[in-house]
Structure 1
Amino acid sequence: MKQFRNDFLWGGATAANQVEGAYLEDGKGISVADVVTSGSHTSPRRIALDQNEAYHYPSHTAVDFYHHYKEDIALFAEMGFKAYRMSISWARIYPNGDDEAPNPKGLEFYHHVFAELKKYNIEPVVTLSHSDIPLAIALKYHGWINKQVIDLYVRYALTLFENYKDEVRYWIPFNEINDMFLPMSALGQGALIDPQAQFIHQQKDDPDERFNALNNMMIASARAVVRGRQINPDFHFGTMICHITRYPRTCHPEDVLLVLKNDLFYNNTCADVMLKGEYPFYALNEFEKRGVRLQLNEEEKAILKEGVCDYYTFSYYQSISESTQEFSEETSGNIMGGIKNPYLQETAWNWPIDPVGLCTTLLKVYDRYRVPIMITENGIGCVDQLSADGKIHDDYRIAYLRDHILEMNKAVDDGVDLIGYMAWGCLDLISVSTGEMKKRYGFIYVDRDDEGRGSYARIKKDSFAWYQQVIASNGRQLDF
């Protein structure tokens, strides 16, 4: 069997609003994430624009990476990380999004982070906008629905490119940009905030506005890519798609057709635009059926063509099953659920566990785009308990990751050009879907609970040593 390439980028991934904390420190502005309360698997997160002290806002402190970044990066280095996927908080650089000048303290913080990564030869993979924007942009401009926000984003991107042109090579314009296909997920991307909505699932939705907001994000991404390459031709830009692999629940031809169409629309539309430079026929047709009038002029179409990305990055957690028929049992998921698949086990949060689906996805994606691929999120959220010996024995996490890495290796053996793998939540962080701490993903336990209590102490889980050996052996040693 073919091995992973010698320069394979093993590492982990986090997001600023889920790890940094220090939400108003050193000039940072309030972001959308900062007005969303904690929740749970059964209780939705609340939108509280008034910052009511009766609620807990997990992003305000998160796991305090802002003050622990040296300790955390040293732990990443101990595991042997070759790369660390992180995001920059737009509100830390431009507190209101449209400020006349960037916040010097914000720029300085990320210089320190990149210097620390360089000390350990860890390659930063940086997301410019990870499902969060300055709150002022959402309220003042109505978020990405307003084309003015394209200019604000491009200015923000240029600020980062100019300041970090010698420190960062790998950039991702937007995290899971296709989240905009679902109304609830569009909130984090900053499509809009409905002041009348108490909970995130109650957002008023206008498909025409939402898909035009997505279109504006596509244009912003392309413009940023074009300008970024002018600043440093060695920059590499990736897509970042939330890929929900889909299966027909039955072999009925109608189920097969349903899955084919949904896969094209939900999984491929954004990647087609970002890698092929134009909207595919099936998306344009679906927009028309939904009454969406895409605001896209000839100049913007040319920008989409020019500003295509270099590599395909995606998150993979699960697959879902779909049918034209009625089934009573359902599952949950990253941004959507489906019908229960009787061949798969599930996590405690009812997410299907499907390692083979990762191999399927890699083969499909590489066949379609023929560009290098990087997995920028993959992991399992679990309730981790400290044992009597003061350790966390997370064999379930090791088993999940091991099985997925085995399938990655099979895809590589079949000829897929896979260049990197970033395990999601390499240290415990705030769950974006529920706002919980108890839904843990990391190799590193952080002493923090759902109410924001704890010492912030970092404790290595059993998976820490296991991932260390995986990286040291370049994926050859997966036993535990």
Structure 2
Amino acid sequence: MENNFLWGGALSANQVEGAYLEDGKGLDISDLLTAGTATTKREITTSINKKEYYPNHKAIDFYHSYKSDIKLMAKMGFKCLRVSINWSRIFPHGDENEPNEQGLKFYHNLFETMKQYNIKPIITLSHFEMPYYLVEKFGGWRNRKCIAYFVKFAKVCLDNFMQYTNYWLTFNEINNQYLVENPLFPYTNSGLIFNANDDKREIMFQAVHNEFVAGSQVVKYAHSLNANLKVGCMVAASPYYPNTPNPKDILKAQKLNQYQMFFSDVQVRGKYPNFILKEWQEKGYHIEITDKDLDDLNHGCVDYIGFSYYLSSTVSADPNRKIIGSGNAASEDTVVNPYLQKNKWGWTVDPIGLRIWLNQVYDRYQLPLFLVENGLGAEDKLTSDYKIHDPYRINYLKDHIIEMKKAIELDGVPVIGYLVWGCIDCISFTTGQMSKRYGLIYVDLDDRGKGTLKRYKKDSFDWFKTVIKTNGKKL
């Protein structure tokens, strides 16, 4: 492991900050998501319904507690912390001419605090925080006008905060929205709310194209400011395995892996792969693409690939397959993998899949990779003496770090760093729960927003501190 390997944690503004209308902030798309459970989906409301509970409104109140939270992370020895800048905190509606100075001040103070503890920010520009006004007025990213609005926001962020870090990410888990039948994904990725007669895939492809163009313009602008600035894409990594050696299963898995990689293909290579262009042609999709768009894509390729890794999926082409339909990557083709365990939320636990994915993606692109999210959601118990014993989390993280190290040290894959997702307990993206906890730091808050908000170190806190101190040698 290189001495400059970046160990740390990862958060998003909408899942931790709270203060959802404070200091001039506008409504963002996550503010309209209700709470769900392990078995009930989060609902998207078109306005705030006082009868509903919206967990992101309060979250864990990081907006007011960031100084003490960052201090705790510094005690773990974090070298970096991934955070997002909430678009609606800087441009409340998204289309203003001037940014909200109070929003800029908050992030300036946050990054100054991190600098005090020598923690490098890894900044995500879009992490499910699009101003809801742009959804109401323009239909989200299906409208090209959002390109200019986002690029303006990104330029303001780069101009104000590039002195704090050289690592930036454009769109978080941009490939989630490929699963268009789950309303949560196209909504949070691109602000898309479909009507009954909409062709969801065509609209998704148009929105994604607009995001690709915006991202490429941000890359070009960052490079014009400073050649040392590194802008990456960010995808959810979930390798698909064939259920059997049947060539039909192998082809099914290959196609699903292709579609997952499409989102990084364009951002890394600067052009569309043939299989996507063929689909558009065969289905009669009319995606608005200008010559300038193609030039932007070609000259605005990313510098590295950021990714999250939690699970793998196994798929079958057998028409009589028994579908499980659970987990983030679940589709109508997903079946049980008898070799892998699952958690309460139906997510497979597959550390070797991380090594497989790292090798596949580096072979495909030959770009540095950055594991900017990995972690285990679990129900933790706070004991009477305020301890949290979480050996299950330690084992999960340890097993994944071991496989990552094999990819680096045995396979020669260049990996920039490893970040624990939700390093402090936060609102779950998929369920809106607090009880689905990822953190190394426990937050006293329940699924209905009740609790003291006090922070407590889990056993995994001291374990990860040792991992960082020994640069991954002692696990």
**Band of TM-score, shorter chain:** over 0.9
**What is the Cα deviation at residue 455 of structure 1?**
1.0
**2:58 aligned with 1:65, yes or no?**
no
**2:33 aligned with 1:36, yes or no?**
yes
Q: Work out the percentage of aligned pairs sharing the same amino acid.
A: 44
The answer for the alignment partner of 1:367 in structure 2 is 363
The answer for the alignment partner of 1:306 in structure 2 is 299
Match of 2:256 among 255, 262, 266: 262
Match of 1:347 among 334, 343, 360: 343
**What is the Cα deviation at residue 108 of structure 1?**
0.3
Superposed counterparts of 1:396-435, under 5 Å: 396-413=392-409, 414-435=411-432
**What is the Cα deviation at residue 203 of structure 1?**
11
Distance 2:224 2:4 in 1: 26
Task: Check whether the contact 2:313–2:329 (CA below 8 A) recurs between aligned residues.
Answer: no
Task: Check whether the contact 1:379–1:441 (CA below 8 A) recurs between aligned residues.
Answer: yes
Superposed counterparts of 1:155-234, under 5 Å: 155-183=152-180, 184=183, 185-194=185-194, 206-234=200-228
Match of 1:279 among 263, 272, 281: 272
Greater alpha carbon shift after TM alignment, 288-297 vs 127-136: 288-297
The answer for the alignment partner of 1:357 in structure 2 is 353
Distance 1:395 1:205 in 2: 46
The answer for the alignment partner of 1:392 in structure 2 is 388
Task: Check whether the contact 2:130–2:191 (CA below 8 A) recurs between aligned residues.
Answer: no
Letter in 2 for 1:49: T
TM (norm. structure 1) is 0.95
**2:328 aligned with 1:334, yes or no?**
yes
**What is the Cα deviation at residue 261 of structure 1?**
1.4
**What is the Cα deviation at residue 329 of structure 1?**
5.1
Match of 1:93 among 87, 90, 93: 90
The answer for the alignment partner of 1:79 in structure 2 is 76
The answer for the alignment partner of 2:122 in structure 1 is 125
1:204/1:71 CA distance change after superposition, 3 Å? farther
Task: Check whether the contact 1:5–1:419 (CA below 8 A) recurs between aligned residues.
Answer: no
Distance 1:300 1:385 in 2: 51
Greater alpha carbon shift after TM alignment, 325-334 vs 105-114: 325-334
Letter in 2 for 1:409: K
Instruction: Give a deviation string over 1:409-440, Cα, whole Å, max 9, x none.
Output: 11012100011011110000101111111000
Task: Check whether the contact 1:444–1:458 (CA below 8 A) recurs between aligned residues.
Answer: yes
SS at match of 2:307: strand
SS at match of 1:250: coil
Greater alpha carbon shift after TM alignment, 401-410 vs 161-170: 161-170
Distance 1:308 1:347 in 2: 37
Instruction: Give a deviation string over 1:26-64, Cα, whole Å, max 9, x none.
Output: 000011111111011211212223311111101100011
Task: Check whether the contact 2:29–2:128 (CA below 8 A) recurs between aligned residues.
Answer: no
1:294/1:455 CA distance change after superposition, 3 Å? same
**What is the Cα deviation at residue 168 of structure 1?**
2.4
Instruction: Give a deviation string over 1:73-107, Cα, whole Å, max 9, x none.
Output: 11111111111111010000000000121000000
Letter in 1 for 2:20: Y
Distance 1:439 1:261 in 2: 32
Instruction: Give a deviation string over 1:209-238, Cα, whole Å, max 9, x none.
Output: 111001000000001111121122221011
Distance 1:36 1:205 in 2: 23
SS at match of 2:389: coil
Distance 2:262 2:191 in 1: 18
Distance 1:145 1:423 in 2: 32
**What is the Cα deviation at residue 204 of structure 1?**
6.0
**What is the Cα deviation at residue 205 of structure 1?**
5.3
TM (norm. structure 2) is 0.96
Letter in 1 for 2:220: V
**What is the Cα deviation at residue 390 of structure 1?**
1.8
Task: Check whether the contact 1:236–1:311 (CA below 8 A) recurs between aligned residues.
Answer: yes
Task: Check whether the contact 2:35–2:53 (CA below 8 A) recurs between aligned residues.
Answer: yes
Letter in 2 for 1:288: Q
**What is the Cα deviation at residue 117 of structure 1?**
0.8
**2:438 aligned with 1:441, yes or no?**
yes
1:260/1:51 CA distance change after superposition, 3 Å? same
**2:373 aligned with 1:377, yes or no?**
yes
Letter in 2 for 1:229: H
Distance 2:65 2:71 in 1: 10
Task: Check whether the contact 2:141–2:191 (CA below 8 A) recurs between aligned residues.
Answer: yes
SS at match of 2:108: helix
Instruction: Give a deviation string over 1:342-376, Cα, whole Å, max 9, x none.
Output: 00001111100000000000111111111111001
SS at match of 2:400: helix
**2:459 aligned with 1:465, yes or no?**
no
Q: Tell me how large the CA RMSD over aligned residues is.
A: 1.4
SS at match of 1:45: coil
1:400/1:297 CA distance change after superposition, 3 Å? same
Task: Check whether the contact 2:35–2:433 (CA below 8 A) recurs between aligned residues.
Answer: yes
Instruction: Give a deviation string over 1:291-347, Cα, whole Å, max 9, x none.
Output: 422221221101001100101111110000001013325152224352110000011
Unmatched 5+ stretches in structure 1? 197-201
Distance 1:471 1:390 in 2: 24
SS at match of 1:239: strand
Match of 1:151 among 148, 155, 177: 148
Task: Check whether the contact 1:180–1:211 (CA below 8 A) recurs between aligned residues.
Answer: no
Distance 2:197 2:173 in 1: 19
Greater alpha carbon shift after TM alignment, 140-149 vs 336-345: 336-345
Distance 1:162 1:261 in 2: 41
SS at match of 1:193: coil
**2:441 aligned with 1:475, yes or no?**
no
Distance 2:144 2:325 in 1: 37
Task: Check whether the contact 1:34–1:59 (CA below 8 A) recurs between aligned residues.
Answer: yes
Distance 1:204 1:35 in 2: 22
Distance 1:335 1:104 in 2: 39
Distance 1:290 1:475 in 2: 49
1:290/1:70 CA distance change after superposition, 3 Å? farther
Letter in 1 for 2:317: T
